[in-house]
Amino acid sequence: MRITEVTTYVLKLSGPQAYLGKLEDGSELSEDRGYVVREPWRSLYSGRFETMLVRVTAEDGTTGWGEALAPVGPEVTAAIVDRMLAGWLTGREITGVRPLWLGLRDLMRERGHLVGHQADALAAVDIALWDLYGKLTGLPVADLLGGAVRTHVPAYISGLARSTDAERAALAADWVTKGATLVKLALGKGIEADLATFDAVAEAAPSMRIAVDAHWAYRIGEAVELGQELDRRKALFFEAPLVPEDVDGHAELAGRIRTPVAVGEAMRNRYEFADWLGRRALRLAQPDVARTGITEAMSIAELASAHHVPVACHHSVGLGIALAAGIHVSAASADTPFFEYQPDTVPVAQSILRTPLPAGPTGFAVPAGPGLGIDVDTDLITKLAKEN
């Protein structure tokens, strides 16, 4: 069966509120503000849920869908697919995913492009190929990956996107009534402020295990101080504590605290993870399947397993395709304690699917249909893409 067409779609969707809620000064991150930095963090954010989707079509009309995590500038990732990947892929026979993935990877490999936008574009196409091959064979992606270890992937609530500690604490308590047992706080706002938020949430929801995402905000001394306080509070994990280039700093931190150091959303390939794992710089690996693709994510999971490090896939603003891909990888990986549940993202993510994924604060059911097991609303996606 040959591939006849590769089509990209840039989407920029509105949600009930922007990802992670209001800005630090209390103002709304509205759609007309463009991309802004969320102080005190350093990265650009959008007021909309932005993404890039890929549809790969076989000669019998069967289609596979993929998605790249592209929270800003999805047009860049789409251009790479359109101008650099689609031409090579079109006309090739799909007898499996890995042969095609190897060819696509090598197109820019020797020029150092296994990271950044090139990797994001490759991830989207790779996911689409797994979805397509699953549909052609009649098998779910998790089965193609060797079989599902679990049919239900546990989740932790991510963010508590409210402006005050009192509001965050109340929201955490409300999630407990809905069955949630794990929560991650979006912090990195100073040691005292972070601990105050942690303690407020812990008091309001004592049954919850609490993780902290520091958004790469701290220097090593600060991270050790905060990490030791998290040890005393028996935190679930400490995510992105230092700048993402500082492998040695993360290794030092991991050796000085008991709370697992969690890293991975900024990385795209097994070689990056191999370096971090070999240097004992992380104790919880967090690849985002919409940045690595399914093929590479499974290689990363095997590397992590060899170092006795669990894998908890990252998920932020990706829509239903990225969500389904992450769930299948989580289902097929041996040591996956939980997956990220984004309360503000999930309703938007579900909006492009004709049948919503079974998802809630306690976790995700693994889709059982062929491929990713999702029914993508092509007409809606085509309409939404034209509006951008």
Q: What is the pLDDT of residue 19?
A: 86
Nearest to 56 by CA among 94, 84, 83: 94
Taking the whole predicted model, whether its pTM rises above 0.95 is answered as: yes
**What pLDDT does residue 66 have?**
98
pLDDT attached to residue 22: 85
Which CATH code for domain 144-365? 3.20.20.120
- pLDDT of amino acid 5: 98
Superfamily name with CATH number, domain 3-138+378-386: Enolase-like, N-terminal domain (3.30.390.10)
pLDDT tens string 234-277: 999 999 999 999 999 999 999 999 999 999 999 999 999 999 99
Q: How many CB atoms lie within 10 A of CB 79?
A: 16
The rounded distance, in Å, linking the Cα atoms of 16 and 252 is: 40
As a whole number of angstroms, the distance between CA 58 and CA 77 comes to: 22
**Tell me, what's the pLDDT at 388?**
74
pLDDT of 387 reads 80
- Which residues are 155's β-sheet partners? 339
Q: Which segments in the chain show pLDDT lower than 70?
A: none
The two tokens of residue 338 are 């939980």
- Range(s) of the chain covered by CATH 3.30.390.10: 3-138+378-386
pLDDT in tens, 274-307: 999 999 999 999 999 999 999 999 999 999 999 9
The predicted pLDDT at position 386 comes to 87
CB 313 within 8 Å of CB 288 = yes
Alpha helices in the chain (DSSP H): 74-80, 86-89, 98-109, 116-137, 141-144, 165-177, 191-204, 220-232, 247-256, 270-278, 289-306, 320-332, 345-350, 378-386
Q: Give the pLDDT score at 169.
A: 98
* pLDDT for res 30: 77
Q: Which of 344, 19, 310 is nearest to 157 (CA)?
A: 344
User: How many other CB atoms are found less than 10 A from the CB of residue 151?
Assistant: 10
CATH 3.20.20.120 location in the chain = 144-365
